[in-house]
Structure 1
Amino acid sequence: MLDSATTQVIEPVPPQPPARRPRGRLWLLISGLLTLLLAASALVAIEPLRDPLPAPTVTRTLPASMVIPGRAPKVPWPKSGQAALSVEGLGSLGTSGGNEPVPIASVAKVMTAYVILTEHPLGRGEHGPKLTVSAAQAAAYPAELARGESLVAVAAGAVFTERQALQAVLLPSANNMARILAAWDAGSIEAFVAKMNDTAAELGMTNTHYTDPSGLDPGSVSTAVDQVILARKAMKLPAFAEIVAQKKATLPVAGTVKNYNSLVGRDGVVGIKTGSTDEAGGCLVFASVVKVGGRRITVVGAVLGQPGANTPVQLDRVFRATRPLVRTAAAAITVHPVVRAGDQVATVQGPLDTGTTIHAAEDLTVVGWPGMQVRLDMDIPVVPTLLPAEAAHGQVSAVSGETAPVSAPLRTGVRLEPPSTWDRIRAHR
């Protein structure tokens, strides 16, 4: 039996608790990796947003020029002599008969009047300075009359205003008054003729030469083209345009005189000057006014060298050759649309396939005739990335001949807006 005093009690040893896993450290590691991944993704997403959007580009679809459609006018040119026809501000309707200098008879007086009025300008209705007929000038009248010249009666000491003297030159085509005016202006006929030729050179009348202020001398020669150049300049002088449009005038000594140009007042004709000699035949420089689209347009032409046995026949033939030209020009000049409202004139390409169009907001019209070349220009401001639909944006203009441009506004098509953030991110992938 064992002794109780010596009995040894052995206490049970509890088991060791299991080791704790490092959950906190693992979570921190995972969280860090996720943060890095998200940051990298954010950088990838933000990267394309850092770059500025490219500006929209505009591509023109409208041609730089066009020809007015239709059949070009057929001008009924005279069968003989020379002719030229021009529309002020628009250009030439053509010429016929070549460009060789020929005698021009009293058409030379257009230059005489032009030189006088450029050196002694007159306003509308003004009479200007006075000139007195000398005894020698009056004494020459009987001999001039015997030669069959075109004249106005004068007397020694008779006083004419500048306007009256010009009326005598331009209406009944007075040779003697052309010489009187020349001497009054330049001191001598020779000095005045030099002024006439200098002026012709300044105006670019390369095939023109004057030998006298009246045109009686067949040495005064020109062409239809050159005379149209001069007539266009002369008709810009108010006093000249007033005088040549008159059918008659009252002068000292001579009384009432009539305009030799019987076309004045018919078919819109407002001048300018007749001429006739055996060497020159029947000649006429003319101007007419056509009303088109609310505008007054001047047609200027010249017909030279129409045959005939005497002045009445020559003038009748030149008038008959001129009337069809005037009427043809009047019928040819009309209003033509060159761009219609709604016509596309340009496309706009924005970033990432965004875009719109630009079109005419209203009709753009010009005055002219079929076959005429028209220049088309556009002024389109820089296009922003955001542009509403049907927004006014620029203008289109057209130029026909030498006229000032006419314009019409432009508008956008569909709304132009920048691509969304998501579209930019997707496009970068």
Structure 2
Amino acid sequence: MFDTATTQVIEPVPPQPPARRRTRGLRVLFTGLLTLLLGGTALVAIEPLRRPLPAPTVTQTLPASTIIPGTAPAVPWPETGQAALSVEGLGSLGTSGGSNPVPIASVTKVMTAYVILTEHPLDRGEHGPKLTVSAEQAAAYPRELARGESLVAVVAGAVFTERQALQAVLLPSANNMARILAAWDAGSVEAFVAKMNRTAAALGMTDTHYTDPSGLDPDTVSTAVDQVILARKAMQLPAFAEIVAQKKATLPVAGTVRNYNSLVGRDGVVGIKTGSTDEAGGCLVFAAVVKVGGRRITIVGAVLGQPGANTPVQLDRVFRATRPLVRTAAAAITEHPIVRAGDQVATVRGPLGTGTTINAAKDLTVVGWPGMRVRLDVDIPAVPTRLPAEAEHGRVSAVAGEGTPVATALRTGVGLEPPSTWDRIRQHR
């Protein structure tokens, strides 16, 4: 017989998952987290690089104006009468004696000549058209002479060129030739006087009124200021400036005549016109030329109402009053450096602390006198983020008084560079 035994059944246990699978999962998780972290950091770093850099800002450090240093010139004005003094292209040195219209005697002939030359222009040296003295004009000469007028000898049928007639008016101050010229131009003296007054109004001579072309009539009145306005315009006419600078001329019938203005040729004086009557006293409108820094500067002035018993005394006194004015103005006009080469004109502030300066490339020098205001104008284009050192960028100009602007270029100081990538990232951390 066989023994019977009981059999025990053991259930199988499933194996554990491999350890490497768990490690791989952790690695994937870690890699994902790291990717997210690095991606976020990259986004943070790239974000400021996407933003455009702000444009550099410019701050002007040069003032808008300045005053020429030193003591303003003390002008020796005459004790009596009126006076005005001006420098062409710069402005007025002042006036004295008020602004009431007063008789101006033969200074009137400046307007007579100005109207003739604007109606019948002449170049330097040109004689122009001819005019013939009529029998009536010649017959008036003895009567005019008996009145003690300033004249040139004429006869019926005498022929004068326009230049010769103007020489007679402006040098020996011929009243009769002023009337002859007036009738030649306008048909009558009255019509010509109307032209004179229209011209005065057009020039802004608000305190001037003409009643005759010679100035013999005391009702012809003006002011020193108005006569300077006219003189400045007249001196721009080549033939006028040429004639008033002459000391003498040769005319038909009269022969050689001399300029009553004895200042011509002294102290740079180049004209313009004398005048004297009992009512007007001694009068002079004058121009003088000085050279400053290679430039020719014209001084223009007027002195009216200098006392005296007769023409020689009146003219002597007006000459004595005028010479100090001319000398003072000539001495006062000099060159003045307003901006020096290398002077800072502006600062430039770029993004993230970058920057440079903008400086004058050369000296900027004006002509004027102490106490005169000088206007300064700076023109600087928009500044890019990159600009080399010593690069030309803009201009600065200066204007003294009423003068013409002078200018020089501007240059950068150190180079202007945009901030680096690292600086831009670090700035926004």
Q: Shorter-chain TM-score category?
A: over 0.9
- Stretch of structure 1 that moved more, 51-60 or 406-415: 406-415
**Corresponding residue for 2:316?**
316
**Corresponding residue for 2:288?**
288
Letter of the 2:32 partner, please give it. G
2:253 aligns to what SS in structure 1? Answer: coil
Answering whether residue 132 of structure 2 is matched by residue 99 of structure 1, we say no
**Corresponding residue for 2:253?**
253
**Corresponding residue for 2:201?**
201
Letter of the 1:199 partner, please give it. T
User: In structure 2, what is the Cα distance between the partners aligned to 1:365 and 1:322?
Assistant: 30
Letter of the 1:60 partner, please give it. Q
**Corresponding residue for 1:189?**
189
Matches within 5 A, 1:10-409: 18-21=16-19, 22-409=22-409
Letter of the 2:336 partner, please give it. H
User: In structure 2, what is the Cα distance between the partners aligned to 1:218 and 1:285?
Assistant: 17
User: In structure 1, what is the Cα distance between the partners aligned to 2:17 and 2:4?
Assistant: 39
Letter of the 2:206 partner, please give it. T
Per-residue deviation at 1:226? 0.2
User: In structure 1, what is the Cα distance between the partners aligned to 2:136 and 2:14?
Assistant: 156
1:346 aligns to what SS in structure 2? Answer: strand
1:42 aligns to what SS in structure 2? Answer: helix
**Corresponding residue for 1:418?**
418
> TM-score of the superposition, structure 1-length normalised?
0.96
Letter of the 1:373 partner, please give it. R
Letter of the 1:426 partner, please give it. R
Consecutive unaligned residues in structure 1, runs of 5 or more: none
CA deviations over 1:274-303 (Å, ceiling 9, x no partner): 000000000000000010011001100000
CA deviations over 1:176-210 (Å, ceiling 9, x no partner): 00000001011111111010001000000000000
1:383 aligns to what SS in structure 2? Answer: coil
CA deviations over 1:74-101 (Å, ceiling 9, x no partner): 0000000000000001000000000000
Per-residue deviation at 1:40? 0.7
Letter of the 1:380 partner, please give it. I
Q: Provide runs of 4+ in structure 1 moved above 4 Å.
A: 5-10, 12-18
> TM-score of the superposition, structure 2-length normalised?
0.96
User: In structure 2, what is the Cα distance between the partners aligned to 1:254 and 1:242?
Assistant: 21
CA deviations over 1:100-155 (Å, ceiling 9, x no partner): 00000000000000000000111111101000000010011111111110000000
Per-residue deviation at 1:8? 12
User: In structure 2, what is the Cα distance between the partners aligned to 1:34 and 1:136?
Assistant: 120
User: In structure 1, what is the Cα distance between the partners aligned to 2:257 and 2:279?
Assistant: 26
Q: Report how many residues are paired.
A: 427
- Stretch of structure 1 that moved more, 406-415 or 271-280: 406-415
Aligned residues: percent identity? 84
User: In structure 1, what is the Cα distance between the partners aligned to 2:199 and 2:74?
Assistant: 34
User: In structure 1, what is the Cα distance between the partners aligned to 2:206 and 2:265?
Assistant: 32
CA deviations over 1:297-355 (Å, ceiling 9, x no partner): 11000000000000000000000000000000000000001111111111101111111
CA deviations over 1:38-61 (Å, ceiling 9, x no partner): 111110000011010010010111
1:155 aligns to what SS in structure 2? Answer: coil
Letter of the 2:17 partner, please give it. A
Consecutive unaligned residues in structure 2, runs of 5 or more: none
Per-residue deviation at 1:9? 12
Letter of the 2:361 partner, please give it. A
CA deviations over 1:250-282 (Å, ceiling 9, x no partner): 000000000000000111100000000000000
Per-residue deviation at 1:213? 0.3
- Stretch of structure 1 that moved more, 42-51 or 26-35: 26-35
- Stretch of structure 1 that moved more, 399-408 or 263-272: 399-408
Per-residue deviation at 1:382? 1.1
Per-residue deviation at 1:19? 3.1
The CA RMSD over aligned residues, in Å, is 1.9
